[in-house]
């Protein structure tokens, strides 16, 4: 369902990948009160998913902006 909703792009870096290379990322991590609700999930490549880890949502947004190339690291 996520691929149908969002396409086969990494939500973080926007890379187009084969479905088998995408992982499920929780936007709001469990440790910060997140759930498995579809609205809290997105597809991410393994590298981006690992980089995001369980950081707070505000830090995830900052990393997403950098990885999409909108600002320098």
The pLDDT tens digits of the residues spanning 14-59 come to 999 998 999 999 999 999 999 999 999 999 999 999 999 999 999 9
Question: 7 in the Ramachandran plot: left (φ > 0), alpha (ψ -120 to 50) or beta?
Answer: left
Determine the pLDDT at residue 1. Answer: 87
Bridge partners (DSSP) of residue 21 are: none
Reference 64, options 32, 36, 42; nearest CA is 42
The pLDDT score that the predictor gives to residue 32 is 96
Please name the residue that has the structure tokens 């997403």: 64
Q: Which pLDDT belongs to residue 37?
A: 97
pLDDT at 72: 59
Q: How far is CA 62 from CA 40, 52, 59, 65, in A?
A: 17, 10, 5, 5
pTM over 0.85: yes
């Amino acid at each position: 369902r996520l691929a149908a909703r969002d396409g086969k792009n990494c939500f973080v870096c926007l890379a187009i990948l084969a479905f088998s290379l995408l992982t499920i990322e929780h936007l709001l991590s469990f440790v910060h009160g997140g759930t498995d609700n579809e609205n809290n999930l997105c597809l991410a490549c393994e590298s981006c998913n690992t980089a995001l880890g369980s950081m707070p949502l505000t830090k995830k947004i900052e990393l997403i902006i950098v990885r999409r190339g909108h600002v320098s690291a």
